């Protein structure tokens, strides 16, 4: 099996598991943290292109794991964090990581947000080093070892 096929198969399993996890955490903190994670992945290289923004909005609206939330609410949270990252990447990154860090006392919810980041990072078939670094930063914010996710 080719590497891409293995990654695709792993992401499909992760998506199904993540939907179950996300369904347990239908609250505002989780919604904000998951969208902060989405924005971090979109901006992992330091910028968010119009194409990345469009793909992310499409992903938010169509992703089965996030279907427990209203897409408009998720898009609003995504736009908030994305705009912070665009205005000042380092400050936006700190704010996004702090939002994810609010789930530190809820490790299962934090793991679900990390899984959302991995799904998004691998959705285009290229989970690059910048995206992995963003997910590792999120792991550190919630005191979960990145190695738990093979990062």
3-state helix, strand, coil in the chain (%, to 5): 75, 0, 25
Rounded Cα distance, 26 and 69, in Å = 7
pLDDT of residue 15 exceeding 90, the answer is: no
Of 38, 44, 40, give the one whose Cα is nearest residue 116: 38
Average pLDDT of the residues of the chain: 82
**Structural tokens at position 92:** 């936006």
- Select the more confidently predicted residue: 40 or 121: 40
- pLDDT for the residue numbered 16: 52
What's the pTM? Answer: 0.80
CA–CA dist 57, 79 (Å, integer): 9
Domains contained in the chain, CATH given:
3-146 (1.10.3680)
Average pLDDT value for residue range 91-112: 94
Tell me the pLDDT band of 1, cut-offs 50, 70 and 90: very low
Whether 97 has a pLDDT exceeding 90, the answer reads yes
């Amino acid at each position: 099996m080719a590497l891409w096929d293995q990654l695709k198969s792993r992401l499909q399993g992760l998506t199904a598991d993540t939907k179950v996890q996300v369904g347990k955490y239908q609250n505002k903190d989780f919604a904000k943290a998951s969208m902060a994670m989405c924005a971090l992945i979109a901006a992992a290289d330091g910028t968010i292109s119009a194409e990345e923004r469009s793909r992310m909005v499409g992903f938010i609206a169509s992703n089965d794991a996030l279907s427990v939330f209203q897409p408009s609410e998720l898009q609003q949270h995504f736009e908030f964090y994305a705009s912070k990252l665009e205005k000042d990447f380092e400050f936006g990154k700190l704010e996004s990581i702090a939002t994810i860090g609010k789930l530190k006392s809820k490790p299962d919810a934090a793991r679900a947000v990390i899984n959302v980041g991995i799904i998004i990072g691998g959705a285009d078939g290229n989970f690059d080093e910048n995206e992995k670094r963003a997910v590792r930063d999120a792991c550190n914010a919630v005191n979960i070892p990145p190695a738990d996710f093979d990062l």
